[in-house]
Structure formats: structure tokens, C-alpha cells
Amino acid sequence: MTTEDDYLRAVERMLRRVAPEHRDAVLEDLRGHFADAEAAGRPVDEVIRSLGTPTEIADRAVEEFGADASGVDASAERAWRVLQGAAVVLAVVIGVVVAFIMPSYTGSVDTVSSDGTSTHVDTSQTLIEVNGLWVALIALVPALIALVPLVVPRRARTATASVAAALLTLMALVGGFTIGGFFLPTVMLAWAALIVWVRLRRSGFGVTWRIVGGVLAALPVLGFMIPLFGGMPGRYADRSDGSDFQVSAWGWPFLAAVLVLGVLISIGYRSAGWVLAALGLVMLVWALVSGQLFALLVIWLGGLWLTIGLAHALTASRRV
């Protein structure tokens, strides 16, 4: 049963190149073909072998109907613009926060006034206050780089987007110890945009891609839970030293929800992508404004979920 479904899904994916009404007609006939063959007692793998590969069927369909290039192109164009646009917007927001709002320099000043009383003042300054406008503007360079592929002519797009993504990666790595790390979400979105642009105009995203996406989304959660459960069952664990990390009451449903989203993405539900993207965005914004310890980790995690969620929502073939 699964092989038949896999086969039909592969054909459906390949037939994205032809108009929907023709695609539906071919798929309907193939389903009937499988049903009749099964009724005639033919084994599924033999049926699939004599049907030929999904690519052969798709090639024949393109020959018969001509490629409905506009449809595929429009969806690839849209998905790419949304992802690349998100990379730009995020880079602007992060750049502004990093340069103008986030206290990058902290210190304390002790002053002793003339009457002998000493006062202790904690100071925090932003990048622009310490280094001036020009250095602060460097924080906006990633946004400019991410913007370039959106304005170059279409035929130069793949090359420009590749260079831009590589440059952004380099900046994030080189500047990783200062402000570079904050731009990792932009880097992820830029790569996702490039992959979506290239793949969506060819064979699209199959089950392997979806599983990789789902696992990547769930991995941080698993990595977080395994140490909690890994050693021994929780109730036998020695918590007397109080070193155990406690997950708050809200934490568990949250972690479980992300796991479920990962599974739903692997199955191919589009809405799971939107939910994960929204979750990632909320975390990102929260981390950017809170400026707490571990904010950078939360920004990375939020960026990862935003990227996977958005890319999945824009490319999933199931409508729900």
C-alpha cells in the first residue's frame, strides 16, 4: 500500500509541471490502474515496474500538454521572495536592535562624592553610544547583502543569491564573537530561500526533505530532553543537590508541541509550518527585546524554527 502511495505521490510531485486539471486526470487513471491491477491479482511491485518511472510519465505529460511553466514559476517566485524578504526584514530588525537598543557594553562606576558617600552605578551603553554612528551602521550591512538578490535581474538571481548567502555565512562566522552571531537567522533564511528557489523549479521537495526539516525542528527539543531522561527515570534521579534543571509547568506542553509540529511537517501538513514559523518569530522577538542571558541561543532557535516553518509552509504540497 505504501509503495503505491509513494509512487502516486512521486508522480504528483513530478506533474507539478503540468496544469492541475491534467494532473488530476492522470492521477485518477493511475489510481484506477492500481485498483484494477490489484483486483486482477497482480503484485504491486510488478505493476509499478510496468508503469515505468514517475519521470517517464511526467515527461510524456509535458510532451502532451506542454509544461505549465507559469504555474510552477509563480509558486517558486513567491516562495523565494517571501523567504529572501524575511531574511532582509530580519537583518534590518536585528541590525537596529544590535546597534541602537541592545546594551553591548556594560560596566559599573563607583564615585565618591565630596561629602564622603560613595555611589555605585551600573552602566550600560549601546554600540552606537560607544563607537559612533559609522560602526553602528555596520550592523546594517547584512540587510544590504540580503537585499541584493531581490533587486538583480532574474537570470543572475541564483548566482547572486549564492554569493550573498555565502557572504552572510562568512560574516556571521567571523563576527560570531561580537555581533555576527545575532545574524544567524538571516543566514539560515538566505540559504533556505536559495534552496527553495532551485528545488521548486525542478523536482520539488520529497519526503526526505520533509523528514530532514521535521527532525531539524525537533532536534533542539530532543537534545534538551534526552539529558533529562537519559540517565535514569526521573523519579529515581538524585535531585538533592538541586543541580537539576527544572522544566516549568508550561515547558512540557511547549516541548511536546514542537515535537508534534516536527512530525506533522514530516508528514507534510502545511499548517504545521505556519505554526512553527510563528513560534520561531515570537521567540526571536522576545529574545531580541528581553536582552536576557541565553538570548543568543533563543535567537538561534527562533531563527531555526522560523526558517524551517516558513520554508515548509511555502513549499508543502498538501493544502492543510
Partner 1 sequence: MTENAERIATNLRKGVLEFCVLGLLAANERYGLELASELQGRGLIASEGSLYPLLARMREGGLVDTRTEAVGGGRPRRYYTITAAGREQLDTFAEVWRAVGAEVDIIMEGTS
Neighbouring C-beta atoms of residue 171, cutoff 10 Å: 19
Nearer to partner 1, 54 or 302 (CB): 54
Q: How far apart are CA 13 and CA 189, in angstroms?
A: 24
Neighbouring C-beta atoms of residue 181, cutoff 10 Å: 16
Contact 217, 276 (CB under 8 A): yes
Nearer to partner 1, 5 or 36 (CB): 36
Instruction: State the binding string over 62-101 for partner 1 (x if CB under 8 A, else -).
Output: -xxx------------------------------------
Nearer to partner 1, 13 or 81 (CB): 13
- In the complex, the smallest distance separating the C-beta of residue 205 from partner 1, rounded to whole angstroms, is 22
- In the complex, the smallest distance separating the C-beta of residue 43 from partner 1, rounded to whole angstroms, is 14
Q: How far apart are CA 168 and CA 174, in angstroms?
A: 10
Q: How far apart are CA 274 and CA 185, in angstroms?
A: 17
- In the complex, the smallest distance separating the C-beta of residue 75 from partner 1, rounded to whole angstroms, is 21
Q: How far apart are CA 52 and CA 147, in angstroms?
A: 44
Contact 13, 206 (CB under 8 A): yes
- Which cell numbers hold the place of 275? 505554526
Nearer to partner 1, 53 or 162 (CB): 53
Instruction: State the binding string over 40-69 for partner 1 (x if CB under 8 A, else -).
Output: x---------xxxxx-xx--xx-xxx----
Neighbouring C-beta atoms of residue 283, cutoff 10 Å: 19
- In the complex, the smallest distance separating the C-beta of residue 24 from partner 1, rounded to whole angstroms, is 9
Nearer to partner 1, 45 or 129 (CB): 45
Nearer to partner 1, 66 or 103 (CB): 66
Number of residues interacting with partner 1: please give it, by CB under 8 A.
28
- Which cell numbers hold the place of 24? 488530476
Instruction: State the binding string over 279-298 for partner 1 (x if CB under 8 A, else -).
Output: --------------------
Q: Which of 1, 39, 121, 320 binds partner 1 (CB under 8 A)?
A: 39
- In the complex, the smallest distance separating the C-beta of residue 33 from partner 1, rounded to whole angstroms, is 5
As beta bridge partners, residue 121 has: 109
Residues 12-31 touching partner 1, rule: CB under 8 A, are 18, 22, 25-26, 28-31
Nearer to partner 1, 10 or 79 (CB): 10
Residues 179-208 touching partner 1, rule: CB under 8 A, are none
Q: How far apart are CA 102 and CA 297, in angstroms?
A: 16
- HSE (side-chain half, CA atoms, 13 Å) at 299: 25
Contact 197, 157 (CB under 8 A): yes
Q: Which of 3, 5, 20, 32 binds partner 1 (CB under 8 A)?
A: 32
- In the complex, the smallest distance separating the C-beta of residue 50 from partner 1, rounded to whole angstroms, is 5
As beta bridge partners, residue 232 has: none
Which amino acid, 198? Answer: V
5: contact with partner 1 by CB under 8 A: no
Question: What contacts 183, CB < 8 A, 6 or more positions away?
Answer: 91, 94, 95, 142, 168, 171, 172, 175
- In the complex, the smallest distance separating the C-beta of residue 57 from partner 1, rounded to whole angstroms, is 4
Residues that bind partner 1 (CB under 8 A): 11, 18, 22, 25-26, 28-33, 35-37, 39-40, 50-54, 56-57, 60-61, 63-65
